[in-house]
Amino acid sequence: MPHSLDLGELGFDRGAGVLLAREARRANAGDELLLRGRAAELGVHLSAWARERGHSLRVEHDGWRLVFGAAVGARRAGAARAGSPEPHGVAERADARWGLAARGSLVEAGVAPVAFRLDSAESLWFADAAEFYRAAAAAQWDPSSAIPWDAPLEHPDDVEEALVTVLTYLIENETAALIVPARFAAEVHPHYREIQQILALQAAEEARHIEVFSRRASLRRGELGLSTVGGQASLRTLIDEPDFARAALLLSVLGEGTFLQLLAFLREHAPDPCTAEILRRVSADEARHVAFAMAHLGEHVRRDPTLIARLESAIEQRHDALRATAGLNEEVFDALVLLAAGSYEPAAIAEGHERVQELVAQMDAGRRMRLRKLGFDSERAHALSSLHTRNFM
């Protein structure tokens, strides 16, 4: 018994094609559909619709009889599933023929393949990726409302100059920290969307850090500080690292991990509430970046212990590449001393210098702790931490 469909007053100009498309999706070749309808020109439009899709149509005494052709369902019949139909099912390797399709969707045959360099679970996936993304998305903040930009700035000009010197340095480093995840995000197969989303959020967060550091630096001064050859050479090695795991180690575990201590130090010695709140919020963002890299690399090292050797070589090669560079900008070091001292009084400077030396020791201790958590023994963690760039990032 043929199925029937009464379109009533509905014509193709008002959505009749939607109902017919639904019937076509349900039909097999040779199935019949009895159609009725009273819209003007419905017969003409039905005839054109059927002919275009390879179906036959003949007039009946009270409507039309549509016989579906061999092409019905062909788009889906030749389609391939982009991984598991389960929402969280992740394939071991993503096929270039899936293109930009959503994970688990049907991909019509003939879609042009899109090659993504990072296309395997082995190099990308880890169990808590979705949870890391949700936490990062929930933690976003608006610089316009979150920062007390109108808070008074009552500290001496020398302290403000030191702060702007450090902020200039931070902006440069955050720029590199934006470029690295943004570049890798573009290379991740969208099948592993949570990894791509985490990297995109990291890039967005670094963009926000650049914004707030730049805005704070301009509150009392008209120009920024000095960008050095050595500083840029150090950051260039991060941007040039092509390996995803090695880049995560160098940028996040070591660089941003070291910056957590630096940001805490700067917050402790912040000369005004605006700067202190900026540093508090930036620190929270950076802590998530470090936690993601630690969780991601930690799981991959457990799966493949040989990854440890690749990570070790990344540290050694970066150290060798930067052996001839000057390291931390002298002006930045002096500015850190002054921020800790609060003035140029000799006794205060001595105390400030001691606190910066304590900061450097804390940075080293933090790096060694994170390296041990990844699987390096204490001796190697100590040796590799000592090879980390003197530019901190």
Six token digits for residue 385: 């931490």
Report the candidate in 126, 93, 165 with the shortest Cα–Cα distance to residue 331. 165
Instruction: Determine the pLDDT at residue 393.
Output: 95
| Cα torsion angle, 302, 303, 308, 313, sign | negative
Asked whether 7 and 36 are in contact (CB, 8 A), the reply is yes
Q: What is the DSSP secondary structure assignment for residue 113, as one 8-state letter?
A: P
Per-residue buried b or exposed e for 38-75, using 16+ beta carbons within 10 Å of the residue's own CB: ebeebeebbeebbeeeebebeeeeebbebbbbeebbee
pLDDT at 357: 97
pLDDT of residue 325: 87
- Sheet of strand 3-6: strand arrangement: 3-6, 32-36, 63-67, 56-60
For residue 5, what is the enclosing H or E element? strand 3-6
Is residue 33 within a helix (H) or strand (E), and if so which, with residue range?
Answer: strand 32-36
Residues 92 and 121: their CA atoms lie apart, in Å, by: 5
Q: Note down pLDDT in tens along the chain; length 393 residues.
A: 678 999 999 999 999 999 999 998 888 889 999 999 999 999 999 999 999 999 999 999 889 999 998 877 767 777 888 987 776 689 999 999 999 999 999 898 889 999 999 999 999 999 899 999 999 999 999 999 999 999 999 999 999 999 999 999 999 999 999 999 999 999 999 999 999 999 999 999 999 999 999 999 999 988 999 999 999 999 999 999 999 999 999 999 999 999 999 999 999 999 999 999 999 999 999 999 999 999 999 999 999 999 999 999 999 999 999 998 878 899 999 999 999 999 999 999 999 999 999 999 999 999 999 999 999 999 999 999 999 999 999
User: CATH 3.30.110.40 in the chain, residues?
Assistant: 3-67
**Amino acid identity, position 254:** L
By C-alpha distance, which of 153, 269, 280, 268 is closest to 217? 153
Count of C-beta atoms within a 10 Å radius of residue 95: 16
Give domain 3-67's CATH superfamily.
TusA-like domain (3.30.110.40)
The tokens of 272 are what? 């005004």
pTM of the model: 0.88
| Ranges in the chain annotated CATH 1.10.620.20 | 121-386
121-386: CATH, from 3.40.605.10, 1.10.620.20, 3.40.30.10, 2.30.30.90: 1.10.620.20
Residue 147 is classified by DSSP as S
How many whole angstroms separate alpha carbon 325 and alpha carbon 230?
A: 5
Torsion of CA 193, 195, 199, 201, to 10 degrees: 60
Residue 252 and residue 259: Cα distance in Å, rounded?
Answer: 9
Distance (Å) of CA 44 to CA 59, 64, 238, 360 = 11, 11, 65, 81
